[in-house]
Chains A and B, each alone.
Chain A
Amino acid sequence: AQTVTQSQPEMSVQEAETVTLSCTYDTSESDYYLFWYKQPPSRQMILVIRQEAYKQQNATENRFSVNFQKAAKSFSLKISDSQLGDAAMYFCAYRSAVTGANSKLTFGKGITLSVRP
């Protein structure tokens, strides 16, 4: 079974600074997807960024980028130029790419990010 670990329960960043959220995972599969989801106080689950395991290039979405280290099974999220609206809980998640399998999302426990003005 796959597991996702987010070891930091909370982090804080100064507005306009950069912060990195850590995530490690464990799997025996070679093909899979990794995600970062943002959950603001509204509780809505918002997809921040996605990475396909077969792609060596790290995904980037505006101020959000990842450092994907497949061999180390590490998938960290970097938020540049942090904004007050980035304050939320962030979840790292894994999804199998195996056809016919239960393609559930396996989530980490989440990290609460606060942004200091």
Chain B
Amino acid sequence: EAQVTQNPRYLITVTGKKLTVTCSQNMNHEYMSWYRQDPGLGLRQIYYSMNVEVTDKGDVPEGYKVSRKEKRNFPLILESPSPNQTSLYFCASSLSPPSGNTEAFFGQGTRLTVV
């Protein structure tokens, strides 16, 4: 079954304690991305990766890091989480244009609370 797996689904942590949210896809997709969803703002891109070892900032990258050492995995790292990073996070993967199949597959979401 084609899927994107995120872990954990829920996380409560304290300010400053480093954490990693994992993301793995089994579809051999080149393109992977992280989004955060906040009320009234929709989803906004944090970081993306166009292939292994190729990553770049999205629209809201401050306070986050990513790595892409393998094609299937794209972890999101918060080195020193702060309360303004409390949000719902989604990992997504897809083929890259000009592929005709452009559907993005999303993980189940991670609800992060930083206190």
Where chain B touches its partner, the secondary structure class is strand
B98, A102: Cβ atoms closer than 8 Å: no
Minimum CB–CB distance from A61 to chain B (whole Å) comes to: 12
Where chain A touches its partner, the secondary structure class is loop
Known contacts A103-B31, A103-B96; A95/B102 CB under 8 A: yes
B114 partner residues in chain A, CB cutoff 8 A: none
User: Which of these, A4, A96, A104, contacts B48 with CB under 8 Å?
Assistant: A104
Binding site for B on A (CB under 8 A): 4, 9, 33, 35, 43-45, 47, 50, 91, 95-99, 101-105, 107-110
Q: Show 26 A/B contacts (Cβ-Cβ < 8 Å), sorted by A.
A: A9-B40, A43-B88, A43-B109, A43-B111, A45-B92, A95-B102, A97-B98, A99-B96, A101-B97, A102-B45, A102-B50, A102-B56, A102-B58, A103-B94, A103-B102, A104-B33, A104-B58, A105-B33, A105-B43, A105-B92, A105-B104, A107-B42, A107-B44, A109-B41, A109-B42, A110-B42
Q: Which 3 A-B pairs have the closest CB atoms?
A: A45-B106, A107-B42, A107-B43
